[in-house]
Amino acid sequence: MNAGFEPSPLRGILLLLTALGFFVALDATAKQLTATLPVAMLVWARYTVHCLLMVVLLAPSMGGRLLGSRRRSLQVLRAVSLLLVTGLTMSAFRIMPIAEATAILFLAPLLVTLASGPLLGERVGRIRWLAVAVGFVGVLMIARPGSELPPAGIALAASAALSFAAYQLLTRVLSPTEHPVTTLFYTALVGSLVSALSLPWLWPLPALDPVQALKIVSLGVYGGAGHFLLIRAFREAPASTLSPVMYAQLGFATLAGGLVFGQWPDAAALAGIAVIALAGVMTALQARRDHARSRPAAPSVSGSARMRS
């Protein structure tokens, strides 16, 4: 951490909310574009623009450090996991509302809770198990019989949630040893290269008008800016503070779906979205309590002063 740097939880929360706004803007723009353009093309453009931005803005100062990973195979696997999330989510947005699809995607932290015991050796207490059960009840409220949501869309969103859970688990494994900017660059580079494999099947690419081209470029800008601000937010405030705030994205997605596309969730789906958010916040708050209990006693004032010097 730079000398003189003072973290600010409030600044961290504001940065996170801005990042979530970028992610919802990406989702809404992608939903508009999937009505007329192939999903695979949009996924490739999203990661390629993101990658080019990082090369232009960071390569001059960081050089080879952008690729300086100790665990390249896990970096690639993590990036492919997020690439699957993007493709599956865009495909779900093509046929179902943003709010409901985003809510199902937010099952991922609950799936991480289920997997963290056997895979990471973490303790999963009663509160977290209860939160998992509550979250799945929320999904059933959204995807209930008679909800008129397409089964294919629900299946795509659920598959995206599984991929997102894998991405989060791999992020946990990599974060102690990998520089966050390097991890972000692998996400963009691998996403761009792997998604480019689909281009021969899309050739010739559809002709674009200027507005469509600008919207496609904005996908990479929204994604890159959102992830950059996310990294900065976690530099300003601990995960225990920011994790509950992540669920504001459900509110943003609901507003975007209603205001942009006129797709407001019905009462039961809205309740399901709220239940999933409640389950996620329960998990985040329990993680905060567990972290506080396991943390060693705070250093003395003189010790703190030495740490800041």
DSSP, residue by residue, 68-97: --S-HHHHHHHHHHHHHHHHHHHHHHHHS-
How much is the pTM? 0.83
pLDDT of 277 above 90:
no
- Higher confidence at residue 217 or residue 238? 217
Measured CA distances, 307 to 96, 253, 287, 299, 303 (Å): 51, 41, 26, 10, 6
Task: Return the pLDDT at 122.
Answer: 65
Quote the CA–CA distance of 66 and 28 in Å, as a whole number. 30
- Give the chain's radius of gyration (CA, Å): 20
**Mean pLDDT across 268-283:** 86
Task: Return the pLDDT at 80.
Answer: 96
pLDDT of 308 above 60:
no
**Contact of 266 with 53, CB cutoff 8 Å:** no
Quote the CA–CA distance of 46 and 36 in Å, as a whole number. 16
∠ CA 47-184-78, nearest 5°, is 85
Task: Return the pLDDT at 77.
Answer: 95
Q: In the chain, where are the structural domains located?
A: 29-294
